[in-house]
Amino acid sequence: MSIAIVTGGASGIGRAIATALVTRGDTVMVTDINTEGAAHVAERLNSLGKGTATSAALDVTSPADVTALYQDVRADHGRLDLVFNNAGIAIGGLAEELTLDHWNRAIDINLKGVVHGVHAAYPIMLEQHGGHIVNTASLAGLVPMPIGIPYTATKHAVVGLSLGLRAEAAGRGVKVSVVCPSFVDTPLLHNVNPGLPETPMSGDASTDIAKAAPRFYTAEKLARDILRGIARNQALIVAPASGRLAWRGARLSPHGAVRIAQKAVDRIRG
């Protein structure tokens, strides 16, 4: 049985990860800025009769709050085995349509939220000589992904952070993985630029995104991929297979990857 924390656990990928963990018998702290949503998920998971779940409100942009919660979980259970720094926000729009508010929000949540989670979890895991940090990035962190470059930039940063930390942590008993899914059918696709100046991509962007990527993966399938990747101690967990193909193609031909991205822009503008 593992002791785990999942941020952004009220919906989407976070909820699916928490469900998969409890289903196999783990103890999970479900956190989200959406307090009621996190509580509802924990209540439902406790009805499964396997592992257990509790919930807590957590704003990942507050380093003090993140550190306090991670320390509390360790104090309550004596250890902290798994941390999923998963909370994120979707930003959409062409570069000329975006404001600095879009950039700052993406950096605060998608990047600094992960930094705060790593900063809180890593010392705990070093002290106990074990643990696994899993950061959620995106296929957008491995290939050129236009029409939302603040999102793309932060996800590239999360990949770099995770791989660099993995190299540092490898000799000290701590494992680090980064998750890079392609388009997953989650509420993020239906809530682009929340609370930010509107662009043509704001709100429900799933129809526009489908023009470039007509097949969406499910969060439940991704959660299974993630747990399998953790068991194998994979550095990069890229899913589904079409995402792995796109990643390989971008590595073989960066110019070709940009040309494909350009065609996707043309289809969406079209």
Q: What is the pLDDT of residues 173-190, one digit of tens each?
A: 999 999 999 989 887 778
Give catalytic status of residue 217 as yes or no.
no
At residue 112, the pLDDT reads 98
121-170 tens-digit pLDDT: 999 999 999 999 999 999 999 999 999 999 999 999 999 999 999 999 99
In this prediction, residues 26-47 reach a mean pLDDT of 97
For the chain, the domain total comes to 1
Active-site residue, selected from the candidate residues 70, 122, 151, 217: 151
In this prediction, residues 190-214 reach a mean pLDDT of 77
At residue 270, the pLDDT reads 63
Q: What distance in Å separates the CA atoms of residue 76 and residue 74, rounded to the nearest whole number?
A: 5
CATH code of the domain containing 192:
3.40.50.720
pTM value?
0.94
58-68 tens-digit pLDDT: 999 999 999 99
